[in-house]
Chains A and B, each alone.
Chain A
Protein backbone atom coordinates (compact mmCIF):
# COMPACT_ATOMS: atom_id res chain seq x y z
CA UNK A 1 0.00 0.00 0.00
CA UNK A 2 1.28 3.43 -0.90
CA UNK A 3 0.59 6.27 1.41
CA UNK A 4 0.77 9.58 -0.32
CA UNK A 5 3.26 11.68 1.58
CA UNK A 6 1.42 14.91 1.01
CA UNK A 7 -1.88 13.48 2.02
CA UNK A 8 -0.30 11.92 5.06
CA UNK A 9 1.10 15.23 6.26
CA UNK A 10 -2.24 16.84 5.56
CA UNK A 11 -3.84 14.22 7.69
CA UNK A 12 -1.33 14.75 10.47
CA UNK A 13 -2.10 18.46 10.46
CA UNK A 14 -5.76 17.57 10.70
CA UNK A 15 -6.69 19.38 7.56
CA UNK A 16 -10.27 18.96 6.55
CA UNK A 17 -10.63 15.98 4.31
CA UNK A 18 -9.70 16.88 0.75
CA UNK A 19 -12.18 14.52 -0.76
CA UNK A 20 -15.04 15.61 1.41
CA UNK A 21 -16.76 17.29 -1.51
CA UNK A 22 -17.06 13.95 -3.20
CA UNK A 23 -18.90 12.28 -0.39
CA UNK A 24 -21.43 10.05 -1.90
CA UNK A 25 -23.48 9.28 1.14
CA UNK A 26 -25.02 12.68 1.52
CA UNK A 27 -25.74 13.06 -2.17
CA UNK A 28 -28.13 10.21 -2.61
CA UNK A 29 -31.69 11.11 -1.88
CA UNK A 30 -33.35 8.40 0.12
CA UNK A 31 -36.96 8.22 -0.87
CA UNK A 32 -39.33 8.07 2.06
CA UNK A 33 -40.19 4.62 3.24
CA UNK A 34 -43.91 5.06 2.84
CA UNK A 35 -43.59 5.62 -0.86
CA UNK A 36 -41.68 2.44 -1.30
CA UNK A 37 -44.24 0.54 0.67
CA UNK A 38 -46.96 1.96 -1.51
CA UNK A 39 -45.12 0.95 -4.63
CA UNK A 40 -44.61 -2.49 -3.28
CA UNK A 41 -48.26 -2.74 -2.38
CA UNK A 42 -49.29 -1.73 -5.85
CA UNK A 43 -47.02 -4.30 -7.34
CA UNK A 44 -48.40 -7.01 -5.12
CA UNK A 45 -51.96 -6.07 -5.99
CA UNK A 46 -51.16 -6.23 -9.64
CA UNK A 47 -49.70 -9.65 -9.16
CA UNK A 48 -52.70 -10.74 -7.13
CA UNK A 49 -55.03 -9.60 -9.86
CA UNK A 50 -53.56 -12.10 -12.28
CA UNK A 51 -55.48 -15.34 -12.62
CA UNK A 52 -54.03 -18.06 -10.47
CA UNK A 53 -54.81 -20.81 -12.92
CA UNK A 54 -55.99 -24.24 -12.00
CA UNK A 55 -53.99 -24.52 -8.79
CA UNK A 56 -56.42 -24.39 -5.97
CA UNK A 57 -54.86 -22.00 -3.51
CA UNK A 58 -56.86 -23.25 -0.55
CA UNK A 59 -55.75 -26.82 -0.83
CA UNK A 60 -52.15 -25.72 -1.25
CA UNK A 61 -52.42 -23.72 1.93
CA UNK A 62 -53.94 -26.66 3.73
CA UNK A 63 -51.16 -28.99 2.66
CA UNK A 64 -48.60 -26.40 3.56
CA UNK A 65 -50.05 -26.13 7.04
CA UNK A 66 -50.14 -29.87 7.45
CA UNK A 67 -46.51 -30.05 6.38
CA UNK A 68 -45.57 -27.38 8.89
CA UNK A 69 -47.36 -29.07 11.79
CA UNK A 70 -45.75 -32.35 10.90
CA UNK A 71 -42.31 -30.74 10.67
CA UNK A 72 -42.73 -29.00 14.03
CA UNK A 73 -43.63 -32.30 15.68
CA UNK A 74 -40.64 -33.95 14.03
CA UNK A 75 -38.29 -31.23 15.30
CA UNK A 76 -39.65 -31.51 18.84
CA UNK A 77 -39.28 -35.28 18.81
CA UNK A 78 -35.76 -34.91 17.44
CA UNK A 79 -34.81 -32.54 20.25
CA UNK A 80 -36.12 -34.89 22.93
CA UNK A 81 -34.44 -37.92 21.38
CA UNK A 82 -31.12 -36.13 21.02
CA UNK A 83 -31.23 -34.86 24.59
CA UNK A 84 -31.92 -38.33 25.93
CA UNK A 85 -29.06 -39.62 23.80
CA UNK A 86 -26.77 -37.03 25.31
CA UNK A 87 -27.87 -38.09 28.78
CA UNK A 88 -26.86 -41.64 27.97
CA UNK A 89 -23.37 -40.67 26.83
CA UNK A 90 -20.39 -40.89 29.16
CA UNK A 91 -19.77 -38.02 31.54
CA UNK A 92 -18.37 -34.78 30.22
CA UNK A 93 -14.73 -34.08 30.88
CA UNK A 94 -13.57 -37.59 31.54
CA UNK A 95 -11.19 -39.59 29.46
CA UNK A 96 -13.42 -41.95 27.56
CA UNK A 97 -13.41 -44.39 24.71
CA UNK A 98 -12.22 -41.81 22.26
CA UNK A 99 -8.88 -41.81 24.07
CA UNK A 100 -7.35 -44.84 22.45
CA UNK A 101 -4.41 -45.84 20.32
CA UNK A 102 -5.48 -43.17 17.83
CA UNK A 103 -4.93 -40.22 20.14
CA UNK A 104 -1.98 -41.84 21.82
CA UNK A 105 0.02 -42.03 18.65
CA UNK A 106 -0.97 -38.52 17.60
CA UNK A 107 0.26 -37.08 20.87
CA UNK A 108 3.23 -39.28 21.67
CA UNK A 109 4.86 -39.63 18.29
CA UNK A 110 3.27 -36.74 16.46
CA UNK A 111 6.29 -34.54 17.00
CA UNK A 112 8.70 -37.16 15.76
CA UNK A 113 6.69 -38.00 12.67
CA UNK A 114 5.49 -34.60 11.55
CA UNK A 115 7.83 -32.18 13.28
CA UNK A 116 4.93 -30.05 14.49
CA UNK A 117 4.75 -28.93 18.09
CA UNK A 118 1.10 -28.06 17.59
CA UNK A 119 -0.46 -31.48 17.39
CA UNK A 120 -3.62 -30.23 15.72
CA UNK A 121 -1.55 -28.78 12.87
CA UNK A 122 0.23 -32.12 12.59
CA UNK A 123 -3.07 -33.93 12.31
CA UNK A 124 -4.72 -31.69 9.78
CA UNK A 125 -1.73 -31.26 7.52
CA UNK A 126 -0.11 -34.63 7.84
CA UNK A 127 -2.05 -37.53 9.29
CA UNK A 128 -5.45 -36.48 7.97
CA UNK A 129 -4.22 -34.26 5.16
CA UNK A 130 -6.70 -35.61 2.65
CA UNK A 131 -9.58 -34.04 4.59
CA UNK A 132 -7.78 -30.73 4.61
CA UNK A 133 -7.11 -30.95 0.90
CA UNK A 134 -10.83 -31.46 0.42
CA UNK A 135 -11.57 -28.57 2.75
CA UNK A 136 -9.47 -26.14 0.70
CA UNK A 137 -11.33 -27.23 -2.38
CA UNK A 138 -14.64 -26.61 -0.62
CA UNK A 139 -13.48 -23.03 -0.26
CA UNK A 140 -12.39 -22.95 -3.90
CA UNK A 141 -15.79 -24.28 -4.90
CA UNK A 142 -17.52 -21.61 -2.81
CA UNK A 143 -15.39 -18.95 -4.48
CA UNK A 144 -16.41 -20.22 -7.90
CA UNK A 145 -20.09 -20.24 -6.96
CA UNK A 146 -19.84 -16.66 -5.69
CA UNK A 147 -18.10 -15.65 -8.93
CA UNK A 148 -20.85 -17.33 -10.93
CA UNK A 149 -23.60 -15.56 -9.06
CA UNK A 150 -22.19 -12.11 -8.49
CA UNK A 151 -19.47 -11.36 -11.02
CA UNK A 152 -20.49 -8.85 -13.65
CA UNK A 153 -19.16 -9.65 -17.08
CA UNK A 154 -18.93 -6.81 -19.52
CA UNK A 155 -22.18 -5.49 -20.90
CA UNK A 156 -24.56 -7.05 -18.40
CA UNK A 157 -26.80 -4.66 -16.60
CA UNK A 158 -24.99 -3.88 -13.41
CA UNK A 159 -27.42 -1.49 -11.82
CA UNK A 160 -28.34 -3.79 -8.97
CA UNK A 161 -24.72 -4.18 -8.10
CA UNK A 162 -23.96 -0.60 -7.32
CA UNK A 163 -23.46 -0.15 -3.69
CA UNK A 164 -23.77 3.33 -2.38
CA UNK A 165 -22.12 3.03 0.93
CA UNK A 166 -18.61 4.22 1.00
CA UNK A 167 -16.97 4.87 4.30
CA UNK A 168 -13.66 5.92 2.82
CA UNK A 169 -14.14 9.49 3.94
CA UNK A 170 -14.99 8.75 7.52
CA UNK A 171 -12.26 10.32 9.63
CA UNK A 172 -12.80 8.19 12.70
CA UNK A 173 -12.66 4.99 10.72
CA UNK A 174 -9.55 6.06 8.83
CA UNK A 175 -7.60 7.03 11.87
CA UNK A 176 -8.49 3.99 13.88
CA UNK A 177 -7.79 1.81 10.84
CA UNK A 178 -4.35 3.37 10.53
CA UNK A 179 -3.46 2.00 13.93
CA UNK A 180 -5.22 -1.32 13.73
CA UNK A 181 -4.38 -2.46 10.20
CA UNK A 182 -0.64 -3.03 10.84
CA UNK A 183 -1.48 -4.92 14.01
CA UNK A 184 -4.00 -7.06 12.19
CA UNK A 185 -1.52 -7.85 9.45
CA UNK A 186 1.32 -8.66 11.79
CA UNK A 187 -0.95 -10.83 13.90
CA UNK A 188 -2.26 -12.65 10.85
CA UNK A 189 1.23 -13.29 9.48
CA UNK A 190 2.41 -14.47 12.89
CA UNK A 191 -0.49 -16.89 13.22
CA UNK A 192 0.12 -18.09 9.68
CA UNK A 193 3.85 -18.69 10.00
CA UNK A 194 3.73 -20.22 13.46
CA UNK A 195 0.95 -22.65 12.65
CA UNK A 196 3.11 -25.63 13.49
CA UNK A 197 4.45 -24.16 16.74
CA UNK A 198 1.51 -22.38 18.29
CA UNK A 199 -2.24 -22.24 17.82
CA UNK A 200 -3.37 -21.12 14.41
CA UNK A 201 -2.32 -22.08 10.95
CA UNK A 202 -3.06 -21.41 7.34
CA UNK A 203 -6.76 -21.00 7.56
CA UNK A 204 -7.06 -18.79 10.61
CA UNK A 205 -4.05 -16.68 9.59
CA UNK A 206 -5.42 -16.30 6.10
CA UNK A 207 -8.82 -15.28 7.43
CA UNK A 208 -7.25 -12.64 9.68
CA UNK A 209 -5.20 -11.23 6.81
CA UNK A 210 -8.21 -11.28 4.53
CA UNK A 211 -10.25 -9.39 7.11
CA UNK A 212 -7.38 -6.89 7.38
CA UNK A 213 -7.44 -6.29 3.63
CA UNK A 214 -11.19 -5.78 3.79
CA UNK A 215 -10.70 -3.24 6.56
CA UNK A 216 -8.11 -1.49 4.39
CA UNK A 217 -10.54 -1.34 1.51
CA UNK A 218 -13.34 -0.02 3.69
CA UNK A 219 -11.22 2.65 5.32
CA UNK A 220 -9.05 3.80 2.44
CA UNK A 221 -11.15 2.97 -0.57
CA UNK A 222 -10.78 0.41 -3.27
CA UNK A 223 -7.66 1.89 -4.70
CA UNK A 224 -5.61 1.11 -1.62
CA UNK A 225 -6.67 -2.52 -1.46
CA UNK A 226 -6.65 -2.79 -5.23
CA UNK A 227 -2.97 -1.90 -5.18
CA UNK A 228 -2.44 -4.85 -2.88
CA UNK A 229 -4.68 -7.36 -4.63
CA UNK A 230 -5.75 -6.67 -8.18
CA UNK A 231 -7.69 -9.15 -10.23
CA UNK A 232 -4.52 -10.43 -11.82
CA UNK A 233 -2.80 -10.95 -8.49
CA UNK A 234 -5.94 -12.63 -7.20
CA UNK A 235 -6.06 -15.10 -10.05
CA UNK A 236 -2.35 -15.81 -10.00
CA UNK A 237 -2.18 -16.33 -6.25
CA UNK A 238 -5.21 -18.60 -6.17
CA UNK A 239 -3.96 -20.63 -9.09
CA UNK A 240 -0.35 -20.97 -7.96
CA UNK A 241 -1.08 -21.63 -4.31
CA UNK A 242 -3.80 -24.19 -4.97
CA UNK A 243 -1.74 -25.92 -7.63
CA UNK A 244 1.27 -25.99 -5.31
CA UNK A 245 -0.87 -27.34 -2.51
CA UNK A 246 -2.35 -30.05 -4.70
CA UNK A 247 0.95 -31.12 -6.21
CA UNK A 248 2.92 -31.06 -2.94
CA UNK A 249 0.31 -33.03 -1.06
CA UNK A 250 -0.08 -35.51 -3.90
CA UNK A 251 3.65 -36.05 -3.83
CA UNK A 252 3.58 -36.82 -0.14
CA UNK A 253 0.52 -39.09 -0.52
CA UNK A 254 2.17 -40.91 -3.37
CA UNK A 255 5.47 -41.47 -1.60
CA UNK A 256 3.66 -42.47 1.57
CA UNK A 257 1.38 -44.99 -0.07
CA UNK A 258 4.14 -46.58 -2.11
CA UNK A 259 6.59 -46.59 0.81
CA UNK A 260 9.06 -44.44 -1.05
CA UNK A 261 11.56 -42.18 0.63
CA UNK A 262 10.26 -38.64 0.73
CA UNK A 263 12.76 -35.84 0.23
CA UNK A 264 10.94 -33.74 2.82
CA UNK A 265 12.30 -34.04 6.32
CA UNK A 266 10.59 -32.89 9.52
CA UNK A 267 13.54 -30.80 10.71
CA UNK A 268 14.41 -29.76 14.25
CA UNK A 269 11.31 -29.57 16.41
CA UNK A 270 10.44 -26.16 17.77
CA UNK A 271 12.23 -24.10 15.17
CA UNK A 272 10.40 -21.95 12.70
CA UNK A 273 11.86 -23.84 9.72
CA UNK A 274 10.63 -27.24 10.79
CA UNK A 275 7.63 -29.44 10.34
CA UNK A 276 8.48 -30.56 6.81
CA UNK A 277 5.69 -29.63 4.45
CA UNK A 278 3.53 -28.03 7.12
CA UNK A 279 5.01 -24.55 6.89
CA UNK A 280 4.86 -24.20 3.08
CA UNK A 281 1.39 -25.68 3.04
CA UNK A 282 0.27 -23.25 5.72
CA UNK A 283 1.61 -20.37 3.66
CA UNK A 284 -0.15 -21.64 0.54
CA UNK A 285 -3.44 -22.13 2.37
CA UNK A 286 -3.11 -18.72 3.99
CA UNK A 287 -2.59 -17.03 0.63
CA UNK A 288 -5.54 -18.80 -0.92
CA UNK A 289 -7.80 -18.05 2.02
CA UNK A 290 -6.95 -14.37 2.27
CA UNK A 291 -7.35 -13.85 -1.46
CA UNK A 292 -10.59 -15.81 -1.50
CA UNK A 293 -12.08 -13.86 1.36
CA UNK A 294 -11.14 -10.52 -0.12
CA UNK A 295 -12.38 -11.68 -3.53
CA UNK A 296 -15.71 -12.70 -2.07
CA UNK A 297 -16.03 -9.33 -0.38
CA UNK A 298 -15.36 -7.54 -3.65
CA UNK A 299 -17.90 -9.68 -5.44
CA UNK A 300 -20.51 -8.91 -2.82
CA UNK A 301 -19.74 -5.24 -2.85
CA UNK A 302 -19.24 -4.45 -6.50
CA UNK A 303 -19.35 -7.52 -8.64
CA UNK A 304 -15.89 -6.91 -9.98
CA UNK A 305 -12.40 -6.09 -8.80
Chain B
Protein backbone atom coordinates (compact mmCIF):
# COMPACT_ATOMS: atom_id res chain seq x y z
CA UNK B 1 0.00 0.00 0.00
CA UNK B 2 2.83 2.34 0.90
CA UNK B 3 4.38 1.54 -2.44
CA UNK B 4 1.18 2.54 -4.19
CA UNK B 5 1.09 5.87 -2.40
CA UNK B 6 4.73 6.48 -3.25
CA UNK B 7 4.00 5.81 -6.89
CA UNK B 8 0.68 7.57 -6.98
CA UNK B 9 1.11 8.79 -10.55
CA UNK B 10 1.92 5.38 -11.89
CA UNK B 11 -0.92 3.84 -9.92
CA UNK B 12 -3.36 6.40 -11.33
CA UNK B 13 -2.03 5.70 -14.81
CA UNK B 14 -2.52 1.97 -14.37
CA UNK B 15 -6.06 2.51 -13.08
CA UNK B 16 -6.80 4.68 -16.11
CA UNK B 17 -5.36 1.98 -18.35
CA UNK B 18 -7.56 -0.66 -16.77
CA UNK B 19 -10.69 1.50 -16.97
CA UNK B 20 -10.00 2.19 -20.63
CA UNK B 21 -9.23 -1.44 -21.30
CA UNK B 22 -12.46 -2.66 -19.76
CA UNK B 23 -14.46 0.04 -21.53
CA UNK B 24 -12.94 -1.06 -24.82
CA UNK B 25 -13.62 -4.69 -24.04
CA UNK B 26 -17.07 -4.64 -22.46
CA UNK B 27 -18.95 -1.60 -23.68
CA UNK B 28 -21.19 -2.49 -26.56
CA UNK B 29 -21.46 1.05 -27.89
CA UNK B 30 -18.89 1.85 -30.56
CA UNK B 31 -18.38 5.48 -29.55
CA UNK B 32 -17.84 4.48 -25.93
CA UNK B 33 -15.39 1.87 -27.09
CA UNK B 34 -13.44 4.50 -28.99
CA UNK B 35 -13.35 6.85 -26.02
CA UNK B 36 -12.25 3.91 -23.89
CA UNK B 37 -9.45 3.24 -26.32
CA UNK B 38 -8.28 6.83 -26.02
CA UNK B 39 -8.41 6.65 -22.24
CA UNK B 40 -6.40 3.44 -22.31
CA UNK B 41 -3.76 5.07 -24.48
CA UNK B 42 -3.52 8.22 -22.40
CA UNK B 43 -3.18 6.04 -19.31
CA UNK B 44 -0.22 4.32 -20.93
CA UNK B 45 1.36 7.62 -21.89
CA UNK B 46 0.86 9.00 -18.39
CA UNK B 47 2.62 5.91 -17.05
CA UNK B 48 5.53 6.45 -19.41
CA UNK B 49 5.80 10.17 -18.74
CA UNK B 50 5.62 9.83 -14.97
CA UNK B 51 8.54 7.41 -15.11
CA UNK B 52 10.72 10.04 -16.67
CA UNK B 53 9.85 12.72 -14.12
CA UNK B 54 12.47 13.73 -11.62
CA UNK B 55 11.58 15.90 -8.69
CA UNK B 56 13.13 19.35 -8.96
CA UNK B 57 14.29 18.96 -12.53
CA UNK B 58 12.99 21.07 -15.38
CA UNK B 59 11.71 20.49 -18.87
CA UNK B 60 14.29 19.12 -21.32
CA UNK B 61 14.81 22.42 -23.11
CA UNK B 62 18.27 23.77 -22.59
CA UNK B 63 18.27 27.05 -20.74
CA UNK B 64 21.99 27.53 -20.79
CA UNK B 65 23.67 26.30 -23.93
CA UNK B 66 27.18 26.66 -22.56
CA UNK B 67 27.15 24.77 -19.27
CA UNK B 68 24.87 21.75 -19.31
CA UNK B 69 24.09 20.17 -16.00
CA UNK B 70 22.51 16.74 -16.14
CA UNK B 71 20.55 17.17 -12.92
CA UNK B 72 18.60 20.15 -14.27
CA UNK B 73 16.59 18.18 -16.79
CA UNK B 74 14.11 15.34 -16.64
CA UNK B 75 14.53 12.23 -18.75
CA UNK B 76 13.63 13.30 -22.30
CA UNK B 77 13.20 9.80 -23.76
CA UNK B 78 9.67 9.15 -22.41
CA UNK B 79 8.47 12.47 -23.83
CA UNK B 80 9.78 11.51 -27.25
CA UNK B 81 8.12 8.09 -27.09
CA UNK B 82 4.81 9.56 -25.92
CA UNK B 83 4.81 12.06 -28.79
CA UNK B 84 5.06 9.17 -31.21
CA UNK B 85 2.36 7.30 -29.33
CA UNK B 86 -0.12 10.19 -29.39
CA UNK B 87 0.04 10.30 -33.17
CA UNK B 88 -0.63 6.60 -33.34
CA UNK B 89 -3.64 6.87 -31.07
CA UNK B 90 -5.21 9.76 -33.01
CA UNK B 91 -4.79 7.76 -36.23
CA UNK B 92 -6.48 4.77 -34.67
CA UNK B 93 -9.29 6.99 -33.41
CA UNK B 94 -9.92 8.37 -36.89
CA UNK B 95 -10.07 4.92 -38.45
CA UNK B 96 -12.38 3.44 -35.84
CA UNK B 97 -14.65 6.47 -36.03
CA UNK B 98 -14.99 6.15 -39.78
CA UNK B 99 -15.78 2.48 -39.32
CA UNK B 100 -18.48 3.53 -36.87
CA UNK B 101 -20.01 5.86 -39.44
CA UNK B 102 -20.06 3.10 -42.02
CA UNK B 103 -21.55 0.59 -39.61
CA UNK B 104 -24.21 3.09 -38.61
CA UNK B 105 -25.16 3.87 -42.17
CA UNK B 106 -25.63 0.18 -42.80
CA UNK B 107 -27.20 -1.07 -39.58
CA UNK B 108 -28.68 2.10 -38.03
CA UNK B 109 -27.36 1.42 -34.57
CA UNK B 110 -24.16 1.87 -32.63
CA UNK B 111 -24.66 -1.09 -30.35
CA UNK B 112 -22.41 -3.93 -31.45
CA UNK B 113 -24.70 -6.62 -30.03
CA UNK B 114 -27.60 -5.30 -32.06
CA UNK B 115 -25.40 -5.08 -35.12
CA UNK B 116 -24.35 -8.69 -34.71
CA UNK B 117 -27.94 -9.76 -34.18
CA UNK B 118 -29.13 -7.98 -37.31
CA UNK B 119 -26.21 -9.21 -39.37
CA UNK B 120 -26.61 -12.77 -38.13
CA UNK B 121 -30.28 -13.01 -38.86
CA UNK B 122 -30.45 -11.13 -42.11
CA UNK B 123 -27.40 -12.57 -43.71
CA UNK B 124 -27.74 -16.13 -42.54
CA UNK B 125 -24.09 -16.25 -41.64
CA UNK B 126 -22.75 -17.28 -38.34
CA UNK B 127 -21.25 -14.24 -36.72
Contacts and interface: CB of A to CB of B under 8 A. Distances in A.
Partners in one complex: yes
Most buried by B among A94, A103, A104: A103
A104 B124 CA distance: 62
Contacts of A120: 60-61, 76, 79-80, 83
Given A79-B18, A160-B105, A87 B76 contact: no
A79 B101 contact: no
A178 interface: no
Given A79-B18, A94-B55, A107 B91 contact: no
A58 interface: no
A79 B15 contact: yes
Contact of A123 (B76, B86, B88): B76
B25 A75 contact: yes
A149 B21 CA distance: 26
A145 B14 contact: no
Main secondary structure of the interface of B (DSSP, over half): helix
Contacts of A128: 80
Contacts of A138: 87-88, 91
A199 B121 CA distance: 54
Contacts of A106: 76-77
Contacts of A53: 124
Contacts of A227: none
B11 interface: yes
Interface string B7-26: 11111001101100110011
Contact of B98 (A47, A87, A117, A150): A150
Contact of B7 (A91, A141, A142, A149): A91
A88 B101 CA distance: 44
Contacts of B50: 92
A269 B94 CA distance: 38
B21 A75 contact: yes
Interface residues of A, number: 65
B84 A86 contact: no
Nearest to B72: A107
Given A86-B3, A119-B76, A199-B59, A78 B53 contact: no
A250 interface: no
Nearest to A201: B83
B61 A117 contact: yes
Interface of B: 1-4, 6-11, 14-15, 17-18, 21-22, 25-26, 50-55, 59-62, 65, 68, 70-71, 73, 75-77, 79-81, 83-84, 86-88, 90-92, 94-95, 97-99, 101-102, 105, 108, 117-118, 120-122, 124, 126
Interface of A: 40, 47-48, 50, 52-53, 55, 68, 71-72, 75, 78-79, 82-83, 86-89, 91-96, 98-99, 102-104, 106-108, 111, 117-120, 123-124, 128, 131-132, 134-136, 138-139, 141-143, 145-146, 149-150, 160, 198-199, 201, 203, 269-270, 296, 299-300
11 contacts: A48-B121, A75-B18, A86-B7, A87-B7, A91-B6, A93-B54, A93-B55, A106-B76, A139-B90, A145-B94, A145-B95
